[in-house]
Amino acid sequence: MAEETVFGKIVSGEIPVEILAETDRVIAFPDINPQAPVHVLVIPKATQYRNVAELAAGDPETLADMVAVAQSLADELADGEFRLIFNSGAGVGQTVFHVHAHVLAGDLKENALV
Ligand code: 5GP
């Protein structure tokens, strides 16, 4: 069984977050350490996918849902334009091994950690 991550605890409700968007498959909530004026994380409710390639292979509909939710958030919270970042691997800065999309809008902080 996959090791439980902090995002698994967010999905189960053990760690409370402000839910900004939710579908049957995904939830979105603010990043705890924002790197831009809008910095939201979109994650699948399913906990078994560690990175975007695993999700694309195993459940592409959920990946499409994540992109659609990112666009809705950017429409709601910014001017509709956004960056979508999936870190994949510890060597490029992934720290939580439950696939997640960083949705960023507005100017990134100098030396942003995404
Ligand atoms: P990664 O570096 O794995 O791509 O991104 C993980 C992100 O999760 C980081 O930007 C970090 O700030 C965020 N994060 C880690 N723990 C929590 C948490 O408990 N709550 C929220 N809202 N964000 C978290």
Residue 2 pLDDT grade (very low, low, confident, very high; cuts 50, 70, 90): low
Q: In which element (H, E) is residue 61 found?
A: helix 60-77
Q: Is 29 in the pocket of ligand 1 (CB under 6 A)?
A: yes
In a domain? residue 113: no
Q: What is the mean pLDDT of the chain?
A: 96
Residue 1 pLDDT grade (very low, low, confident, very high; cuts 50, 70, 90): low
In a domain? residue 79: yes
Please list the active-site residues: 100
CB 37 within 8 A of CB 100: no
Sign of CA dihedral 91, 17, 111, 109: positive
In a domain? residue 33: yes
In a domain? residue 75: yes
CA distance 36 to 14: 27
Q: Is 111 in the pocket of ligand 1 (CB under 6 A)?
A: no
**Structural domains of the chain, count:** 1
In a domain? residue 18: yes
Choose which residue among 31, 88, 104 to substitute to test ligand 1 binding: the one with the highest number of ligand atoms within 8 A of its C-beta: 31
CATH number of the domain residue 63 falls in: 3.30.428.10
In a domain? residue 112: no
Give the range of the structural domain holding residue 76, as residue numbers without chain letter: 6-105
In a domain? residue 111: no
How confident is the model over 50-79, as pLDDT tens digits? Answer: 999 999 999 999 999 999 999 999 999 999
Distance 75 CA to ligand 1 centre (A): 22
Q: Is 32 in the pocket of ligand 1 (CB under 6 A)?
A: yes
In a domain? residue 110: no
Residue 24 pLDDT grade (very low, low, confident, very high; cuts 50, 70, 90): very high
Sequence-ordered strand ranges (E) for the chain: 21-22, 26-30, 38-44, 83-85, 101-105
